[in-house]
Structure 1
Amino acid sequence: MRQTIIENLAAGRRKRRRRWIIVNSILLLLACILSIAMLMIGNTIYPVSDVIRVLMGESVDGATFAVNTIRLPRMLAGLFAGIAFGIAGNTFQTMLRNPLANPDILGITAGSSVAALFCILILRTSNTTISIAAVIAGLVTVVILYLLAKGKSFSVGRLILVGIGIQAMLSAVISYFLLIGAQQDIATALRWLSGSLNGSQMNAIFPLILTVLICAPIVILLGKHLSILELGEQSASSLGLNTDKSRMLLILSSVCMIAIATATTGPIAFVAFLSGPIAKRLVGIGFSNVIPSGLVGLNLVLAADLIGQFMFEVRFPVGIITGLLGAPYLLYLLIRMNRKGSL
């Protein structure tokens, strides 16, 4: 009897692992297809052979400039921003055990947006300064959220309500900056606020690439710790996890990614909100959801950008498309949680 139970558990684990590997492989293949499509498709469509030759360093008339200067930076910006938003959103949702507890709803993205917009419209600083300011503002927002939500005892519900309030306040600050900003900068700021990959340049996206390459592996390595934190504070502590240290590393890594991604591409709506739940639905339970969330995030951004650029007569920024996808899900989630009494 005992042997049969052990065999059934082992078989179930192998089945879940196989599903995790298959789903991640499909998501990775889809990401490759979308990345190649972004390099091929534009005002002029270039064959895959020309794109590969350009990437290998050869000079191809017309294709070299279009791919290296315009399409490659745009694709890399969408790819790494999608990974950053996806992993960071899943981290907060898992750690706080609530699908609403993501950087968009909590106001963390808005905090970074205020700092970046202040640098763009008021100070007119360099991209490096914008990135640093966005990270600092994101961390400050997290600290304020925690202090206001702590009270006598920490409550995730209180945290979400405080986050919604902070987001509303920061949205008012953003509107104020748009009112007092120079007229010639308003169009750029509005395009940035909608979440856009337009005008991406290699030197501007380098901080994003570096941040994701450093912070994403940290969150991936702490994936088991994140799953344990999902059990709750007492359960995690009883299992021997240093909850404070793990939570601090996860928050710092996630905020850095979300802040730099926001400073680079603008606040691409709902990617952080959607990636975790979609990934969890695809891979199921039993294994870390960090890598699938990053892959879902980058696929969402790349697919939404292609749809926004080429599916309509007017070209829309990527954030408009992801917003159209995320808003109905947010309403559905709020209605469902309200019926369950989770709000």
Structure 2
Amino acid sequence: MAARVLLGTPVVTAGQALAVLSGEQVPGISFIVMDSRLPAAVVAVLAGIAFGLSGTIFQTLLRNPLASPDVIGVTLGASAGTVVAMTVFGATGAALFWSALLGGLGTAVLILLVAGAGRAGAAGAVDNRFVLVGIGVGAALNSLISYLLTRISTRSAGDVMHWMIGSLSTSTWERARVLALALAVLVPVLMVLVTRLRILQLGDDMATGLGLSVPRTRIGLILVGVTLSALTVAVTGPLSFVAFLAGPLARMLLGRPSFPLAAAMGAAIVLLADVVGQNAVPSTALPAGVITGALGAPFLLWMLTRTPGSRDER
């Protein structure tokens, strides 16, 4: 966070930053710190936490490291909802948050229905169908977004494409408050559900025998994961692969799934991507989504080559 606030053009010294944070008005520097860089750093942390938690929910629930909101179409559902609201209805402000949430939830419901989550069958089969159906639905949503972009003006399409990359350049304290409020509500709910998730990992039959309502627990976890992802997409755009990267990296470090560490990893990834994007290329600021996409794509390929062997070992 210090690097995100201090580095850039112009460079802000630590003394100047501390003076501004203590309430002193430093001409030029006060605006840079309080209205530009610090809000971006705070939004980066909150967005990373939300994406990290969301990705870990899906990866743990579906027992598949590839099952992040980016891969299974939930993020694209939120993006499609926002793009439809922007291009068809001209929505702005708070309407975009509701559009992203409805788009993400609608996509999750569609995937659940098509995958047959309510039908009888082995848990692993349902989980695999959920992932495969999600990839297919995501491809359809991507086509919808591409079609909408051809129906609007070049300038509007450019604005939408810039948002679709994922960027923190429009971060404000108001957007930070939205994410903070969402986390303040959803994290306690997730803490309650995580204890049930651990029981669910014993297997559906065992969990049912212990008195757990398996369908209700699954739906509750999916709703929390979708809401975290969708609201964050509405604020920052779909920052590629953050939800996908955070959980596996935390698992590599700790040796087991960890929601707190995944949240910290998500925050670190988004912050690092924004710092690199703002400072890597002189006189050019790259959106954070460009950096996260560059990091996530090779990691996804590595996971695809590694997963079958890992299953055989288990």
Normalised TM-score (structure 1) = 0.84
Specify which of 274, 284, 290 is matched with residue 320 of structure 1: 290
- What does the per-residue CA deviation read over 1:28-49, in whole Å, with 9 as the maximum and x for residues that have no partner? xxxxxxx121111121121223
Specify which of 1, 4, 8 is matched with residue 42 of structure 1: 8
Specify which of 297, 303, 307 is matched with residue 276 of structure 2: 307
Which residue does 2:103 correspond to in 1? 137
Residue 231 in structure 1 maps to residue 197 in structure 2 = no
Amino acid at match of 2:17: V
Which residue does 2:139 correspond to in 1? 168
Specify which of 160, 166, 171 is matched with residue 195 of structure 1: 166
Whole-angstrom CA distance in 1 between matches of 2:235 and 2:224: 17
Assess if the C-alpha contact under 8 Å between 1:127 and 1:204 holds in 2. Answer: no
Whole-angstrom CA distance in 1 between matches of 2:279 and 2:79: 27
Shift of 1:249: 2.7
Relative distance call for 1:161 and 1:225 in structure 2 (3 A) is: same
- What does the per-residue CA deviation read over 1:274-306, in whole Å, with 9 as the maximum and x for residues that have no partner? 111111111223xx6111111000100000111
Assess if the C-alpha contact under 8 Å between 1:145 and 1:162 holds in 2. Answer: yes
State the SS of the aligned residue for 1:105: coil
- What does the per-residue CA deviation read over 1:234-257, in whole Å, with 9 as the maximum and x for residues that have no partner? 222233333334333322222111
Assess if the C-alpha contact under 8 Å between 2:167 and 2:287 holds in 1. Answer: yes
Whole-angstrom CA distance in 1 between matches of 2:78 and 2:173: 21
Q: Please, which moves more after superposition, 264-273 or 39-48?
A: 39-48
For residues 1-343 of structure 1, what are the structure 2 equivalents within 5 Å? Answer: 35-150=1-116, 153=121, 155-285=126-256, 289-313=258-282, 314-338=284-308
Whole-angstrom CA distance in 1 between matches of 2:19 and 2:213: 50
- Which one has the largest radius of gyration? 1
Q: Please, which moves more after superposition, 38-47 or 289-298?
A: 38-47
Which residue does 1:23 correspond to in 2? none
Assess if the C-alpha contact under 8 Å between 1:91 and 1:226 holds in 2. Answer: no
- What does the per-residue CA deviation read over 1:115-139, in whole Å, with 9 as the maximum and x for residues that have no partner? 1111222322122111011111111
Shift of 1:341: 7.1
Shift of 1:55: 2.4
Shift of 1:172: 0.4
Whole-angstrom CA distance in 1 between matches of 2:66 and 2:206: 22
Amino acid at match of 2:106: V
Assess if the C-alpha contact under 8 Å between 2:56 and 2:259 holds in 1. Answer: yes
Assess if the C-alpha contact under 8 Å between 2:62 and 2:128 holds in 1. Answer: no
Give percent identity, aligned residues only: 37
Relative distance call for 1:231 and 1:152 in structure 2 (3 A) is: closer
Q: Please, which moves more after superposition, 158-167 or 107-116?
A: 158-167
Amino acid at match of 1:331: L
Shift of 1:319: 1.0
State the SS of the aligned residue for 1:103: coil
Paired residue total: 306
Whole-angstrom CA distance in 1 between matches of 2:78 and 2:294: 22
Whole-angstrom CA distance in 1 between matches of 2:310 and 2:3: 42
Unaligned runs of 5+ in 2: none
